[in-house]
Amino acid sequence: MTIDNILVIAKKIIDVLLVWAILFYILKALRRNMKMVLLFKGILVIVIVKVLADLLDLVTIGYLIDYVIEWAPLALIIIFQPEIRTALEHLGKTQLLGRHKTMTVSEREKSVKEILGAVEYLRKMRMGALMVIERDTSLAEYIKKSQPIYADLSSSLLASLFFNNNPLHDGGVIIQGDKITSAAAVFPTSDNPNISKRLGTRHRAAIGISEESDCIALIVSEETGRISIAIDGNFYYNLSLEEAKLKLLEELSPSTTLLTENEKEEEENE
């Protein structure tokens, strides 16, 4: 096999991988955006009608469908300009290595322990809370508009931020790695029509920010004390402390094992 043949094969593999990556990103966006789902259904209907028109030789409807297809790309760009801009912004905010990936196993477990310590206290005291844990997608946009904290993550400090008399309690807390970055953050609420009307603003904000980024949004209900988690637009309601712990550890673990020197030392000691 010559070098030219190897280059040709390599180019084809890269070409296929790029197409796969684009399709994966589109399908991921479809799953998290109701408007995109409706758009996909509309396109599917048009394609079916076009196929039927060609098979049954329906000239008039075929002409109309051809006209729609001709102008559809321009119409879609105009109508879905906000969604396209959001998708491009999301792509630009993606970090190659989120802070949670650089943490050792013990640091991740300690962070989860501190978070759940605060959650347990808040649940018992019936104090509402919204904690948003950053992963690969940067939350700098929301950090910039909130109150900076930049303190070590601890259950006592985290719980105190949600005291009713605390001026910072009305909003969300943003956590980056093992640090509390900011408080009183305001997040967009989800417009998903399938969300139960029983859920309040705090829960809708958690789902909304999870739709816009890959963060983990943890909620404590002020009325019931129930624990819920929103991830990628999916909502896990009324979790036990143990279920919440397992979910956080699972989602904060990097998809590929990244061993730092500290982690290697821990494994050797074991």
Share of the chain above pLDDT 90, in %: 40
User: What pLDDT does 255 receive?
Assistant: 56
Task: Pick left, alpha or beta for residue 233 (phi over 0 → left; psi -120 to 50 → alpha; otherwise beta).
Answer: left
Rounded-to-integer distance, Cα 83 and Cα 245, Å: 33
For residue 238, the SS3 value is strand
User: What pLDDT does 262 receive?
Assistant: 47
Nearest residue to 29 (alpha-carbon basis) of 81, 90, 78: 90
Q: Position 122: which residue type? A: L
Which tens digits make up the pLDDT trace of 143-179?
999 999 999 999 999 999 999 888 888 899 999 989 9
Which tens digits make up the pLDDT trace of 171-180?
999 999 899 9
pTM of the model: 0.65
Structure tokens at 147: 């109150």
User: What pLDDT does 163 receive?
Assistant: 92
In this predicted model, which residue has the larger pLDDT, 38 or 259? 38
User: What pLDDT does 258 receive?
Assistant: 41
User: What pLDDT does 85 receive?
Assistant: 66
Domain spans of the chain, in order of start: 3-93, 99-252
CATH fold of 99-252 reads YojJ-like (1 (3.40.1700)
Count, residues in the chain: 270
Highest mean pLDDT among 1-10, 29-38, 45-54, 125-134: 125-134
| Mean pLDDT value across the chain | 82
Which tens digits make up the pLDDT trace of 82-94?
666 666 655 555 5
User: What pLDDT does 264 receive?
Assistant: 45
User: What pLDDT does 260 receive?
Assistant: 44
Which tens digits make up the pLDDT trace of 194-251?
888 888 899 999 999 998 888 999 999 999 999 999 998 899 999 999 999 999 999 9
In this predicted model, which residue has the larger pLDDT, 39 or 195? 195
- Residue in the structure block whose two tokens are 């061993």: 259
Average pLDDT over residues 101-110: 81
Highest mean pLDDT among 1-15, 17-31, 60-74, 123-137: 123-137
Rounded-to-integer distance, Cα 260 and Cα 264, Å: 6
Q: Tell how far CA 15 is from the center of its chain.
A: 28
Rounded-to-integer distance, Cα 77 and Cα 63, Å: 23
In this predicted model, which residue has the larger pLDDT, 51 or 242? 242
